[in-house]
Amino acid sequence: MHMDCPYNQTLDQRLDYSENRIDDETFLHFHGYLMGSFAILAFVFTLIFIATTFRAMRLHRGSRKYRALLLNRAIGDLIGASSVTASAILTVISPSANRDAVALIGCFFYSTFWSAFISYTSLSLLKLYAVLRPFSYRKVFTFRKCIYIIAACWIIFIACISICAGVVTVHLQVHWFTDHMHGFRYFFSTFTCFDYTFTIVIFIVTVIVLKKVEMNEKNAMNNTRGEFRRSDGGTRFGKTGFPLWKLALNVSTFVVFQAPLVIWNIYLFTVTGCFSLFHYAEMMKTQAFVGGTILLRMITDFIISFITDYQLRKVFLDWISAIRSRFRSYRSSDLSAVSDSHKKFTTKPSTY
């Protein structure tokens, strides 16, 4: 559906028209209560995941490169959940708050998409290279290089956030930018769809190549009647890095729960002009649904990680046990100190 802006109106008239069309109750319920509830749960679960993963890395439980890249995704999720929480609090406190301030805070929410794209693409390429080049794998992909990849990821994200903040600021002050807002929206939608498609393609190529390598190795071992079963080539598929099925679970949650965002951006390709001005309430509802699915992906990733990753679950349970034991020791020491002081008071000799 295409809508043209009322070009015979001034900027103040357009903004006044937009503000009058939006229902404050709709914005409060969808972007306040609904998004806020999911965001708080996602924030708590992601924070627990980050702390547990960081502790597992310090204890060298599992592949450090694998956990570092998942930690990168979780940091993006934490930033996104924090931004939605702040936006929801602002909306609940003041339902008629400036929508552009909420939009500016919402720019940080897209860190979830960007960090997941970088992490899952890097993990797929890491797994692929580990199988195809097992002898040079540890030298080429070191833990330090993974840190460099993560640092570059966030430098690019900061640049994108700066552009997004500039767009919101210019949108408030410059008249011509209101008419050309769809240019930035077109660029962002293209970027989102490309990231989503590229992540899926890289993972599919990785799975196809790995399965082909596995079949070739099995055929070679069958033809030689087990001659190469003890060779490095015959065992490298199952002993490099991290299981492929765990990566498949992570990518699957990314594909399923990020799909509404991609579909929404594809739909934005078909609208031009001032569509958002005339259908602002409907857009707010759709954006709340899209954001809710992404927050649900954070919660699902936390549950899947603690169900499938035994080492991560063990680190978390050991950590909880250590905290409980410390609390009990402090409590017992306080009780013993109180009982000792009480005994001294009751056994004080009489002066008569």
pLDDT tens, 228-283? 444 444 444 444 456 788 888 889 999 999 898 888 888 877 776 566 666 667 77
CB 34 within 8 A of CB 209: no
DSSP 3: B
SS3 141: coil
Span 217-233, mean pLDDT? Answer: 59
pLDDT band at 24; cut points 50, 70, 90: low
**Cα separation of 200 and 72, whole Å?**
19
SS3 125: helix
Domain 11-315 architecture: Up-down Bundle (1.20)
Looking at the predicted structure, is the pLDDT value of residue 4 above 60?
Answer: no
The model's pTM is: 0.76
Tokens of 259: 């799909």
pLDDT, position 274 = 64
Alpha helices, DSSP H only, in 22-142? 24-28, 35-58, 64-93, 99-106, 111-132, 137-140
In order, the DSSP letters of 7-37 are TTS-HHHHHHHHHHHS-HHHHHIIIIIIHHH
CB 120 within 8 A of CB 77: no
Domain ranges of the chain: 11-315
Residue 94 CB coordination number (10 Å): 13
Residue type, 205: V
Task: Count the alpha carbons within 13 Å of 201 in the hemisphere toward its beta carbon.
Answer: 6
pLDDT, position 153 = 86
Task: Count the alpha carbons within 13 Å of 174 in the hemisphere toward its beta carbon.
Answer: 11
